[in-house]
Structure 1
Amino acid sequence: MSVENGKNVLVVYYSHDESTKSIAESIAGETNADLLELKPVEKSGGRKVKYIWEGESVSMDPVPDLEPFLLDPDSYDLIFIGSPVWAMSYAPPVESFIRKTKLSNKNIALFCTHEGLMGIVFQELMSKLSENKIVGAIDFYDPIGSGVKYAANASANWARQVLKSLS
């Protein structure tokens, strides 16, 4: 369990490609946080089924099973939650995490990555996490395409500000 400024910090994320993962790793590095990558259980059908699921999953509202995780999110004071934007919403594995953990009375900071419109990602997440205190939210437009170093610096600066606001 990591401790930064007296806070136990966790970064939870789902990443379809390297974009959200790169931001999550930058935030974790800056805040000395533990990382929890959300991994859907692989269904039969391999890659083809995976791409169909990713393309249609938001509108069909599935809640995919996740591989078990060893970290207990309830034991953290501050949780960063990150997702790519899919169909102007957050990715279904994040919904699975929210339903499974039933977080309450936590400091939550939200981040998303996208290459188009951001949609209503934060509004939806804030509604789902209403029993918590949202301490920050930021989006990153095309972190890989716009420059990994720039995105890493921006996410590290933001994470530092979030921690400072809790001091």
Structure 2
Amino acid sequence: MESNNQKKVLVVYYSYDNSTKTIAEMIANETGADLFELVPLEESGGKRVKYMWEGESVIMNPNPRLKAIPDKMEDYDLIFFGTPVWAMSYAPPFESLLNSTRLYGKNVALFCTHEGLMGIVFQEMINKLKDNKIVGTIDFYDPVGSGIEYAAKAGRNWARHVLKSVIEP
């Protein structure tokens, strides 16, 4: 997208593997957004223990320390938040971000990636972001495994629609 009428857009995401990262990068490219990856200071696991570690992280380490958080999120007109679904919720790095930053009156769009049940990820994020306007949500079921081309097309169309709703309310 060439111009977003001078609206400042940010995509903030956490990705344990490439699924959420791929979608986040595509949304940033489509909207001309700044891109920010949440990175925990310590992360363990691996492909073999991935699912066990995800569920355990939600329960045992719900607030991991992050290397950094996005600067001046209050300056953005639209913020996309992307997370994988872990234990039917959002990934713990988002809990750390949302506990350390207070956003008010922002246009917020939420996306998630998952390989199973989506759970209540959006309801929980909406509750955490209750002082903001949720302008869109979308989930991507196994975007890399099911075909990234389809996910990319759906994500681009959704991102374009969300941005247009903020520019031309």
Structures share fold, TM-score greater than 0.5: yes
Q: Is the 8 A contact 1:4 1:33 kept in 2?
A: no
The alpha carbon displacement at 1:71 in A equals: 3.1
Q: Decide whether the 8 Å contact of 2:69 with 2:97 is kept in 1.
A: no
User: By how many angstroms is 1:20 displaced?
Assistant: 0.3
Mapped contact 1:9–1:77 kept (Cα < 8 A): yes
Q: Is the 8 A contact 2:14 2:20 kept in 1?
A: yes
2:74 aligned partner, one-letter code: D
- For the aligned residue pairs, the C-alpha RMSD in angstroms reads 1.8
Decide which moves more: 120-129 or 56-65: 56-65
Aligned match of 1:78? 78
- What is the CA-CA distance between 1:102 and the residue it aligns to? 1.1
Mapped to 2, the partners of 1:7 and 1:123 lie a distance apart of: 27
Alpha-carbon distance in 1 for matches of 2:67, 2:73: 15
Instruction: Please give the TM-score of this superposition, normalised by the length of structure 2.
Output: 0.89
Residue number in structure 2 paired with 1:92? 92
Aligned residue in 2 for 1:156: 156
Structure 1 segments, 4+ long, off by >6 Å, are none
Q: Which runs of 5+ in 2 are unaligned?
A: none
**Structure 2 residue 57 is matched with structure 1 residue 18:** no
Deviation of 1:153 after TM superposition, in Å, equals 1.1
Using the TM superposition, give the Cα deviation of residue 53 of structure 1 relative to its aligned residue in structure 2, in angstroms: 4.7
Report what 1:141 is aligned to.
141
Q: Is the 8 A contact 1:8 1:33 kept in 2?
A: yes
Cα distance, 1:23 vs structure 2: 0.4
Aligned residues: 162
Cα 1:83–1:70 shift into 2, 3 Å: closer
118-127 vs 34-43, which moves further: 34-43
Distance 2:148 2:88 in 1: 23
1:66-115 CA distances to partner (integer Å, 9 max, x unpaired)?
Answer: 00246321211100000000000000001111111111110000000000
1:61 CA displacement: 5.6
* Alignment-derived partner of residue 9 in structure 1: 9
Matched to 1:58, the amino acid is V
Is 1:165 equivalent to 2:134 in the alignment? no
Structure 1, unaligned runs of 5 or more: none
Distance in 1 of aligned mates of 2:158 and 2:128? 23
Amino acid at match of 2:84: P
Letter of the structure 2 residue corresponding to residue 150 of structure 1: Y
Q: 2:11 touches 2:24 (CA, 8 Å); kept in 1?
A: yes
